[in-house]
Chains A and B, each alone.
Chain A
Amino acid sequence: GAGVSQTPSNKVTEKGKYVELRCDPISGHTALYWYRQSLGQGPEFLIYFQGTGAADDSGLPNDRFFAVRPEGSVSTLKIQRTERGDSAVYLCASSPGTGALEQYFGPGTRLTVL
């Protein structure tokens, strides 16, 4: 079946602009995660959804970052007033839910803030 998909694959924006990054998880997966990865580093956790609710948003760096998953499937990560330091690859992962430990990652969205 289809894996996790993310759009766009690349996004270039200017400092101060608003961006939305989309994630389509594997069908039926109730858990969804957002991570951010900088060059030479491992992915860094941002937020975790179980169904429609954000079960853990402790990784969001500040209030410019927000994510939603209104119907428990597709999720959107929203970044307001982007800064150059937001440039990174944003990864989405999903897993079947409680009891499932491994995560299935999408290819990521490379965000560049000029």
Chain B
Amino acid sequence: SQKIEQNSEALNIQEGKTATLTCNYTNYSPAYLQWYRQDPGRGPVFLLLIRENEKEKRKERLKVTFDTTLKQSLFHITASQPADSATYLCAPTLSGSARQLTFGSGTQLTVLP
């Protein structure tokens, strides 16, 4: 069955450093992968989408890579700020439009001032 694994533990980093979050998947080949941010008591918020034929995507301080050979996506936040503290969820998704999302369990990131 499909399996998605994110950083198993919470991640604490110092303000200004780069945070790197990992999303590994097994037993399927997603056509694209989405990253969402979730704050306590709120629903997830879409951040970035990367397709299988794209190696890297950037948006402001965010960068996502997608390695279909390793079956892995890395999510980087550069120049991290305490406001970046949240849980980050990855959702590798099969092809097809308007698809249900299958999420990993998330990585809780804390950026320390």
Contact = CB atoms under 8 A, between A and B. Distances in A.
B104 A42 contact: yes
B89 interface: yes
Please tell me the size bucket of the interface on A: 20 to 34
B49 interface: yes
A101 B89 contact: no
Interface in A56-98: 56, 59, 91, 93, 95, 97-98
B101 A31 contact: no
Nearest to B104: A42
A106 interface: yes
Contacts of B49: 101-102
Tell me if B's interface is mostly helix, strand, loop or mixed: loop
A103 B101 contact: yes
B108 to A, nearest CB: 9
Interface in A37-64: 40-45, 48, 50, 55-56, 59
Contacts of B89: 42-43
Interface string B80-113: 0000000001010100011111111110000000
A107 B41 contact: yes
Contacts of A4: 43
B44 interface: yes
A79 B17 CA distance: 46
24 contacts: A4-B43, A31-B98, A41-B105, A42-B104, A42-B105, A43-B44, A43-B101, A44-B103, A48-B100, A50-B98, A55-B98, A93-B43, A95-B98, A97-B98, A100-B98, A101-B34, A101-B49, A101-B98, A103-B46, A103-B101, A105-B36, A105-B44, A108-B42, A108-B43
